[in-house]
Amino acid sequence: MGAVSVKARLWLVLALWSAGVAGAAGPDDFSWLAPDGGSSSRQARREAVNAMPLARLPAAQRQQVETCIRTHTLFRRLPHADIDCDAALLQFALEKPEVIVDIWRALGISQLALDPAGEAQWRLADGYGTVGILRLLHAQRRGDGGVLLFHGRGGYAGPLSPRPLSGTCVILVRHEPLVPSGGGCGRHRLTVDAFLDVDGLGLELVTRTLQPLVVRCAAANLHEIGLFMETLSATAVENPVGIERIASRLPRTPEEDRRTLTRIARRAAAAAGTSARGAEADSVSNRLAARWLPPAQPAGAK
CA distance 33 to 213: 8
pLDDT at 124: 86
Is the pLDDT reported for residue 294 higher than 80?
no
Residue type, 107: L
User: Would you state the pLDDT for residue 302?
Assistant: 53
The distance of Cα 57 from the centroid of its chain, to the nearest Å, equals: 23
Phi-psi region of 281 (alpha: psi -120 to 50; beta: other; left: phi over 0): alpha
Least confident of 57-66, 165-174, 200-209, 264-273: 200-209
Q: In this structure, which amino acid lies at residue 36?
A: D
What residues form DSSP beta bridges with 86?
Answer: 185
**103-144, pLDDT tens digit by residue?**
988 888 877 888 899 888 999 887 777 888 989 999 998 777
Q: Give the least confident one: 97-106, 198-207, 242-251, 261-270.
A: 198-207
State the Cα–Cα distance between residues 1 and 21, nearest whole angstrom.
4
Q: How far apart are CA 168 and CA 67, in angstroms?
A: 10
H or E, element range at 151? strand 145-156
The candidate with the shortest Cα–Cα distance to 10, out of 228, 191, 221, is 221
Residue 85: half-sphere exposure toward Cβ, Cα within 13 Å: 27
pLDDT, residue 56, reads 96
> Where do the domains of the chain lie?
10-22+36-237
Query: How many C-alpha atoms does 236 have within 13 Å on its Cβ side?
Result: 27
Q: Report percent pLDDT > 90 for the chain.
A: 35
Angstrom distances, CA of residue 184 to CA of 31, 277, 285: 38, 20, 24
Q: Distance between CA atoms of 148 and 136, rounded to whole angstroms?
A: 7
Which residue from 133, 130, 168, 102 is spatially nearest to 19, judged by alpha carbons?
A: 130
Check residue 258 and give its pLDDT. 96
Q: Given this model, what pLDDT does residue 144 score?
A: 75
Residues 6+ apart with CB under 8 A from 198: 73, 74, 165, 166, 167, 206
Cα of 218 vs its chain's centroid, Å: 10
Once rounded to an integer, what is the mean pLDDT over residues 275-293? 68
The predicted model gives 225-229 an average pLDDT of 89
CA distance 117 to 119: 7
Query: Does residue 26 register a pLDDT over 80?
Result: no
**Considering the chain, what is the average pLDDT of its residues?**
79
The CATH code of the domain at 10-22+36-237 is 3.30.530.20
State yes or no: pLDDT of 201 exceeds 70: no
Average pLDDT for 21-43: 55
Provide the pLDDT confidence category of residue 255 given band limits of 50, 70 and 90: very high
